Amino acid sequence: MCDARCSAPLEHHGDMLLLTDIYCMYNRARGTDLVSPDDVLAACRELERLRLGMKLRRFNTGVLVVQSSNHNPDAVVARLLRLLQTRAFIDGTFVATAWKVSLPVAQEHLQVLPPLACCGACGGVVCLAVTRLTTMHGDGPGC
C-alpha cells in the first residue's frame, strides 16, 4: 500500500498526516475497488516494522496519525516558539493555516509546548511569548 508516493504528502504536511486523511487520499487515488478503513489501519500498523520511514502514532487524545520516523518533537517546539516571536498568541487554527496541516494535528502540536505555555483559561490559545508573557487572561499560570 505504501511506497514513495506516501512520503511526498507526508513531507508536504509537516511529516504528519491524520489517518483519516490517508484513507481518503488512498481511496481517491484508487478510484474504484476501495479499501476499508480497517485495511488502512492494519497496513499503517505495519509501517514501522517494515522500516518504511513512517509509523502510526496515537496521541493521548486518541487522534491517529502517520508520521515520519524522523519526526522530532523538539523541532516542533522550536517552530512554535518562532511563531510566538511574531505574534502575541497562537492557537490551533493559526498553526494549521501557517503550517498547512489539519486542525487536529495542529492542536496536537500545541500540546508539546511546556505546561506554562498555556494557561488553560484561554481555551487552548497559547499566550506565552518568547521574550515576555502576555497579560491576555491574567488568571492562569504564566499569563
Q: What does the pLDDT look like over 112-122, one tens digit per residue?
A: 876 544 555 55
Q: What is the pLDDT of residue 130?
A: 35
Sign of CA dihedral 53, 56, 59, 64: positive
Q: Which residues are bridge partners to 126 per DSSP?
A: 90
Structural Rg of the chain based on CA atoms: 17
**Contact of 53 with 74, CB cutoff 8 Å:** no
Position with higher pLDDT, 119 vs 95? 95
What's phi and psi for 31, nearest 5 deg? 80, -60
For 6-12, what is the mean pLDDT?
A: 63
pLDDT band at 64 (very low <50, low <70, confident <90, very high): very high
Around Cβ 88, how many Cβ atoms within 10 Å?
A: 13
The mean-pLDDT minimum among 7-16, 24-33, 43-52, 55-64 falls in 7-16
